[in-house]
Amino acid sequence: MANRQCEFLHGCAFTLFINDEEAWNKIKIMFCEGDYLKCRRYKRRSKGFVVPLELWPMDNECLSESVYQIKFSLKKFVEQNMEIFSEFKETAEFSKFLKSVMDIINSLDLSEGQRRFFLKFFGEFYEELFIKNFNEDFFIKMVHFYEKGEVGASVFDPGFLIYTTNLFESFYKWLTKSSFTEEDKLELLSVIVKFVNFANSFFKKNVTMLHDLNVCYETFLKLKQQEKEIYSDSLTGVYNRKYLDLLVGRFGKDFNFLIFIDLDDFKDINDNFGHDTGDIVLKEVGNILRTSIRANDVAVRYGGDEFVVAVDVPDKGVAIEIAERIERLIKNMNIKTESGKPKISASIGVSGVSCTIPLTDNLKKADKALYKAKDMGKGKVYFIY
């Protein structure tokens, strides 16, 4: 069902966090340009609340909110002790640890996508976490890599356990050879364990959200296909009359003008040029309507050669302009047959929508404007409030 676009779409910071065009397009289709009222980010921002960068549209909270203080203190500690973490990375213990992990990964029975994921993830994990002090961009990119590589928890969790166990052991061995006090050694080891676990929680949380997004998107597409089969007119490609019943509560709120279109002397086209030509005309009118209105507006085949367009525009002048453009495009249709070229025109009525009266009364008002247009002659547009 077509909805209005989220007023906060332009400038939404989540596109910077998700950092993936395919995932962002899915979010836009389902939320920003679809049912944005269900978006958690929209709900917060519309109430004037702070919207965390990493809050997913379908999630109630993000990791940074629930453990913000832990994240802040860990990052601060790592920053203050960056020389120590950098020094460990240059040691023989680190090289030996990383090589052993890579050898294990290469020995496992993994798909090519899974192997490439692990080699990149574990090859850069320490630097992105401790040298770059939790580079979120890296972990989000790896979330997408994880999903596309079909890694899965049953493969990732044992691999991550192998990596972290060897990392902690190597770091501890290096600390025992250092001149740090026992208290400093314990604090450093504690922080490296906590930061690794935090990064893992952040990673797994976003893996879950991306997976949920993809599942939701697949369901969304299936529902849209079902909706199309139920509510679309197979000949013209616009919605059928049954779809109007779904819009009852939206008139006066999401749509403020109705455009009622009737093809002039359409029966003569069928009689003189055949019903196949008539179908071609109707199909082309459907194309004109779908390309002449915005994504949030709705075009409906009301019956036979009658169409209704519901729009949300600033004033009647814009509504009349849309109607006049549709009238010109229909008049300029170039359909040739063996019997010649049929003359095609449309009479169009435009009326304002009132949310205080039933849909049927709004349609009657637009229909009244249509008949006023017909009284003026073929190919005319008439407006009434």
Please indicate, yes or no, whether residues 192 and 321 belong to a single structural domain of this protein: no
Of the three residues 156, 191, 211, the one that is the final residue of a domain is: 211
Q: Is residue 151 part of a domain?
A: yes
CA–CA distance, 78 with 89 (Å, rounded to integer): 14
Report mean pLDDT in 10-residue bins for the chain, 385 residues.
Answer: 72 91 92 88 90 87 64 90 96 96 94 95 97 95 94 95 96 94 94 95 94 93 87 94 86 87 96 95 96 89 96 92 96 91 96 89 95 94 92
Q: State the angle between helix axes of 92-107 and 153-176 in degrees (0 to 180), rounded to the nearest 10.
A: 160
Per-residue HEC secondary structure of 98-134 comes to HHHHHHHHHHCCCCHHHHHHHHHHHHHHHHHHHHCCC
Helices and strands: H and E segment counts in the chain: 15, 5
Domain span at residue 88?
A: 67-211
What is the residue type of 130?
F
The answer to whether 216 and 30 have CB atoms below 8 angstroms apart is yes
What are the φ/ψ torsions at residue 276 (nearest 5 degrees)?
-65, -40
Please indicate, yes or no, whether residues 203 and 257 belong to a single structural domain of this protein: no
Q: Is residue 359 part of a domain?
A: yes
Q: What is the pLDDT of residue 227?
A: 83
The answer to whether 196 and 78 have CB atoms below 8 angstroms apart is no
Q: In angstroms, how far is CA 26 from the centroid of its own chain?
A: 3
Please indicate, yes or no, whether residues 202 and 71 belong to a single structural domain of this protein: yes
Q: What is the pLDDT of residue 65?
A: 59
Q: What is the pLDDT of residue 1?
A: 39
Q: How far is CA 292 from CA 168, 173, 239, 311, 348, in A?
A: 63, 70, 15, 11, 15
Strand 346-352 to strand 381-384: parallel, antiparallel, or no bridges (unpaired)?
Answer: parallel
Q: Residue 249 is part of a domain; what is its CATH number? A: 3.30.70.270
**Which residues, at least 6 apart from 332, have a Cβ–Cβ distance to it below 8 Å?**
none
**Which residues, at least 6 apart from 352, have a Cβ–Cβ distance to it below 8 Å?**
256, 257, 316, 385
Number of domains in the chain: 2
Residues with active-site annotation? 305
Please indicate, yes or no, whether residues 77 and 146 belong to a single structural domain of this protein: yes
Please indicate, yes or no, whether residues 247 and 181 belong to a single structural domain of this protein: no
Strand 257-263 to strand 346-352: parallel, antiparallel, or no bridges (unpaired)?
Answer: antiparallel
Q: What is the pLDDT of residue 254?
A: 81
Q: What is the pLDDT of residue 3?
A: 47
